[in-house]
A and B are shown apart, each in its own frame.
Chain A
Amino acid sequence: MTTNTQVLNEVTSFIWSEADLLDHQNYGEWLDLWTEEGLYIVPAEFEGDENFKDTLNLALDDANMRRMRVNRLESGESVSARATGNTVRMISRVRILEAGDDLVVARCAMTLNEMRHGKLVTYPADVEYQLQPSGDSYRLNRKVVRLMHADSFLRTVSFIF
């Protein structure tokens, strides 16, 4: 029980700091959290299957696409990115699904808030993390953000979930 609580605390702490990096647009540091083969995935269906490569996603980013996405947001060339301020995301309901020596799988609830042209836009999501233990922390190996809005019509997004 002690061990489980410890893993839960470590994972929660990791997820919170990742959230803080993204909300404050520290995208460079966020890129460093990833393993080289890691995948950032935002499926186009809330309850789709796991065959992401043969399915249309909102985002399916390998290391290269992640770097390009960050570059797009930071370059100043994207008018929508320039119009996007900091986001505020709340994370709760963290649960460890698997706690192996090489891989920890966790799931949590997230609500992200964005102020878009003076109007609050809210995105509730179910987020699953696959984390690789690394030193006294973790590295991101896979992050799947299942947006409730995915089944309906989203607003356009110029930030990272």
Chain B
Amino acid sequence: MSELIDIKNVSLSAAEMVEEGRINKALYSDPAIFEEELDKVFNNTWIYIGHESEVPEAGSYKTAWIGRQSVILTRDRKKNLHVLQNRCRHRGATVCEDRTGKTKSFTCPYHGWSYGLDGALRAIPKPEEYEGVLDKADLPLESLRVETYNGLVFATYRDDIESLEDNLGGAKKWIDLFMKQGGGYPVKVLGEHRFSFPGNWKIQLENTTDAYHFPVIHKSFISSLDDATQDIFDFLDGEGYVEDLGNGHSVMVMIPELVDLEENVDQEIPQRFQDLADELRAEGRSENEVKKLVRAAHGTGFNLNLFPNVACSMAFFRVLRPVTVDKTEIQHVAIGGEGAPEPFNRRRLRVHEHFQGPMGFGTPDDGEAWERVHKGSQSGPDGWVLVNRGMNNLHESEDGNVAGSVCSETGMRAAYREYKKMMAAGEEK
């Protein structure tokens, strides 16, 4: 372990506040660093916007956020996806305040400027005063660069950074594995939980790659499970691992047996799934399909943390949004199978409600811990937060990546390494 040195009256840059194994607590609480992050991180990399199933048809749209900036994800008449800045080019009002919907155009409520699904400015009321003043072709809603991977939609302000696929790199394999949980049907968003906590966004980013906390803070959730499921969640002494996938991404495998949901489909249906299996059989599903659906019903055995704002977490998407230095909004997005049997999707909804969201049996205890971490970050003139767990117990993964044990902080170090790189941009050192 690195020696903890006492630093006083030294002004460190945010990048310098990240060391391998520890970060300065000011990274949670300093408003100036937060502003810098919105620019250097959120305006400079691929940001998760949504899942393709949330905009299924021509004309479908949803609003999303890149930090404080409101954007609209749309699907145009040719079914192409766009991510548009939610800002009229005239006086700058937002043109859309709905979470989701279907439309042919976005009309600014202030003076009636109207934009197409691709952002093109189509109509201006009383245009004669603009003759020779402006050309509509020059004033579309600002469009961001959009790319998708296996249903996940990302956008960036940067035209000159690597492609999404290059950025995801080693994470692509895990996205593909994650998407197998439709049980043979395409993954579809079923709904979402929305909640906020009074704390910095990086506290949530860390949590999705933190297995160490699970048996401690989530004891009351574990107690509510049947014995067989309790055994499954008793993974800290198991064969799981955390793997650094590069570019800030990481995967934490808690239940290795549930990495590939299309493997071992033939195994006997566990007792806790008998009711679901019976419902599916009653619908006339073949035994093979019943087994496939049952195996996929509770999701995968891993959390894939994608830097900086999304995780594919066991059975749902976790999306975070930095609002202020001490406020973070989180969406827990429930997923199921498009066209999958009703009992399957219902089961997935109930499993999601059990742990996730502001009234789940898990999230409120996470929220309590995060709030306290943030509070603690304001104690004392200086202090460090440790992310060095398992640093001396690393190995090389099958894919040649650095990996640690399941309850190591390897994933946090991966994220902070990328964070440091981005925050250092523009510094001479």
Contacts and interface: CB of A to CB of B under 8 A. Distances in A.
A125 B319 CA distance: 26
A7 interface: no
A82 to B, nearest CB: 9
Interface in B203-239: 217, 219-221, 223-224
A55 interface: yes
B190 interface: yes
A59 B365 contact: no
B192 A56 contact: yes
From A42, A60, A78, name the one whose CB has the most chain B CB atoms within 10 angstroms. A78
Nearest to B349: A56
A72 B195 contact: no
Contact of B191 (A44, A69, A77): A44
B72 interface: no
A156 B191 contact: no
Interface string B330-351: 1000100000001001100110
A55 B224 contact: no
Contact of A58 (B329, B359, B365, B367): B359
A26 interface: no
A71 interface: yes
B363 A156 contact: yes
Nearest to B371: A117
Given A54-B345, A152-B194, A153-B196, A78 B358 contact: no
Contacts of B357: 44, 58
Given A79-B369, A80-B364, A54 B358 contact: no
B197 interface: yes
Q: How large is the interface on B (under 10, 10 to 19, 20 to 34, 35 or more residues)?
A: 35 or more
A50 to B, nearest CB: 15
Interface residues of A, number: 31
Q: Is the interface of B mostly helix, strand, loop or mixed?
A: helix
Contacts of A72: 220-221, 223-224, 361
A39 to B, nearest CB: 12
A56 B364 contact: no
A158 B346 contact: no
A90 interface: no
Contacts of B122: none
Interface string A67-111: 011011001011111010000000000000000000000000000
A72 B190 CA distance: 26
B365 A69 contact: no
* 6 tightest A-B CB contacts, nearest first: A56-B191, A156-B367, A156-B364, A78-B220, A80-B368, A77-B220
Interface of B: 99, 190-197, 217, 219-221, 223-224, 329-330, 334, 342, 345-346, 349-350, 352-354, 357-359, 361, 363-369, 371, 375
Given A56-B193, A60-B349, A153-B196, 9 more contacts: A56-B352, A58-B353, A71-B223, A72-B220, A79-B365, A79-B368, A80-B367, A153-B194, A156-B367
7 contacts: A53-B349, A54-B342, A55-B191, A58-B353, A153-B195, A156-B364, A157-B359
